[in-house]
């Protein structure tokens, strides 16, 4: 009998956000403990899990396309267990089992910790949907991946209480729950002991973090994480503008291990649209926080999320969004056409924007953002930036790549011996999505 038959092989495909990446890592760790070995080869797998996203319509469509691609594999291996996890699983539940006959198992974000027991039930012949959100985020102990890598992620909270009118997240990930600070810190320490040097703290809204046991809020937790010996860099995402506090800006300015990058979703530059979206802040409040950030932090890099074509959006509303992009000068933005989502209140709104108008506005917005990204990058030519070298560059022989403190991708000629080290790079060329440079020694900060 071959080794392939003896081993239990697990394949995981992940769609969506960094929270899903983290959940997939936990699924892998929990199932590794049950004797599974990860494989990239779907055809060799005994268990295939698809971790899904339903925040927008397009990722949801990808789910059905992926499952369709498994028909022949399932036909060749009838004992293969196929499961769908994540937000589409939570949203659709048993309906997904009815739509896709090859599925054995459907389970939502709140059932991640129970994956081993659920898989065993599926192996016993049960087709089941498990969508309780009661245990969401309540890990009893940290479950570290075998090799967390140079850069790792730690979820500090789950769920959302904001109920933006376009968003499905509160319905598929439940209400906010903050993990105990000591559990977060223990997980982060364990990753650093295994070689991690940069940690991204994750939450639907990290600014809402509040540990009931210790009383720590997010800025205080951030300080504690940054104190872990051997940890060089800490980042976090995502921040809600209404909760982004001066205290957090103070920590970002004072603590060297906290990076000068921030993802602050605006969604729109129009106060009328922000009110319709139930964002609970104004354009003026948002710009006030941005001004305070830039006043206190050198070379702060800002990213955002923007929606075009929200129901009722006029050309004047869209013009306000374009002006916001010009005024803030984002390093990058993730921009999307509005789409109706299940459970979300805006799905029932009238005055929907025609698809062709949404597409035209998205193209104009992305063209503006491209010009702003290149403009900001050109201002960095000649500057020396601290870079954490991550590995070989995707393009270009003898090039290595890494990230600056502000999160900018930097490519430069270098040797593999630099992987996993902090170096200083002088920027020689600006590109839209990255910077080119040359190595300077010794390493210095931005």
Q: Are 393 and 399 in contact (CB under 8 A)?
A: yes
State yes or no: 177 annotated in a binding site: no
**CA-CA distance, 410 to 318, in Å (whole number)?**
33
User: Residue with structure tokens 């977060």?
Assistant: 184
Is 223 annotated as contributing to ligand binding?
no
- Give the C-alpha separation, 345 to 163, whole Å: 9
What does R_g of the chain's alpha carbons equal in angstroms?
A: 23
DSSP annotation of 180 reads P
CA 230 to chain centre: 24
Nearest to 118 by CA among 39, 31, 54, 45: 31
Is 53 annotated in some ligand binding site? Answer: yes
Residues across the chain: 446
Is 164 marked as a binding-site residue?
yes
φ and ψ of 168, to 5 deg: -95, -10
Whether 312 contacts 277, CB under 8 Å: no
How far is it between the farthest Cα atoms of the chain?
A: 69
Direct distance between the N- and C-terminal alpha carbons of the chain, in angstroms, rounded to an integer: 57
| Bridge partners, 304 (sequence order) | 333
Q: What is the dihedral of CA 375, 409, 429, 321, to 10 degrees?
A: -10
Distance CA 365, CA 361 (A): 6
Query: Regarding beta strands 36-38 and 8-14, do their DSSP bridges make them parallel or antiparallel, or are they unpaired?
Result: parallel
Q: Which residues pair with 174 in a beta bridge?
A: none
167 known member of a binding site: yes
Binding-site positions: 17, 53, 87, 160, 164, 167
Binding-site positions for [4Fe-4S] cluster: 17, 53, 87, 160, 164, 167
């Amino acid at each position: 009998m071959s080794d392939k038959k003896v081993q239990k092989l697990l394949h995981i495909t992940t769609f969506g956000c960094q929270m899903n990446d983290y959940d997939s890592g936990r699924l892998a760790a929990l199932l590794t403990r049950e004797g599974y070995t990860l494989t990239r080869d779907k055809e060799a797998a005994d268990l295939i899990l698809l971790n899904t996203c339903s925040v927008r319509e397009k990722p949801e469509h990808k789910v059905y396309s992926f499952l369709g691609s498994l028909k022949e594999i399932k036909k060749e291996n009838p004992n293969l267990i196929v499961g769908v996890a994540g937000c589409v699983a939570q949203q659709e539940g048993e309906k997904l089992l009815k739509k896709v006959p090859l599925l054995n198992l459907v389970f939502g974000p709140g059932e991640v910790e129970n994956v081993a027991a659920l898989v065993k039930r599926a192996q016993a012949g049960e087709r089941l949907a498990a969508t309780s959100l009661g245990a969401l985020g309540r890990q009893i102990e940290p479950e570290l991946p075998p090799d967390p890598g140079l850069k790792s992620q730690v979820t500090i909270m789950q769920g959302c209480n904001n109920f933006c009118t376009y968003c499905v997240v509160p319905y598929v990930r439940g209400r906010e729950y903050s993990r105990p600070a000591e559990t977060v810190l223990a997980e982060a320490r364990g990753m650093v002991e295994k070689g991690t040097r940069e940690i991204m703290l994750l939450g639907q809204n990290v600014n809402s973090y509040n540990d009931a046991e210790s009383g720590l809020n997010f800025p205080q937790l951030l300080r504690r994480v940054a104190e872990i010996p051997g940890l060089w860099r800490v980042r976090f995402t995502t921040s809600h503008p209404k909760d982004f506090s001066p205290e957090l800006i103070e920590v970002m300015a004072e603590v060297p291990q906290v990076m000068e990058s921030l993802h602050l979703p605006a969604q729109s530059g129009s106060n009328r649209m922000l009110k319709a979206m139930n964002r609970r802040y104004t354009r003026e409040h948002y710009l006030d926080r941005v001004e305070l950030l830039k006043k206190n932090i050198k070379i702060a890099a800002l990213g955002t999320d923007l929606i075009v074509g929200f129901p009722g959006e006029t050309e004047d509303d869209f013009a306000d969004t374009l002006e916001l992009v010009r005024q803030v000068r984002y390093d990058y933005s993730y921009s999307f056409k509005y789409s109706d989502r299940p459970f979300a209140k805006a799905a029932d709104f009238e005055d929907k924007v025609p698809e062709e108008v949404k597409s035209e506005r998205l193209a104009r917005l992305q063209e503006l953002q491209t010009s702003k990204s290149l403009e900001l990058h050109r201002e960095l030519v000649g500057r020396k930036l601290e870079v954490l070298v991550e590995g070989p560059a995707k393009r270009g022989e003898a090039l290595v790549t890494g990230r600056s403190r502000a999160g900018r991708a930097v490519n430069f000629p270098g040797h593999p011996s630099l992987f996993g080290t902090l170096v200083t790079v002088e920027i020689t060329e600006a590109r839209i999505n990255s910077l080119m440079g040359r190595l300077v020694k010794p390493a210095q900060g931005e």
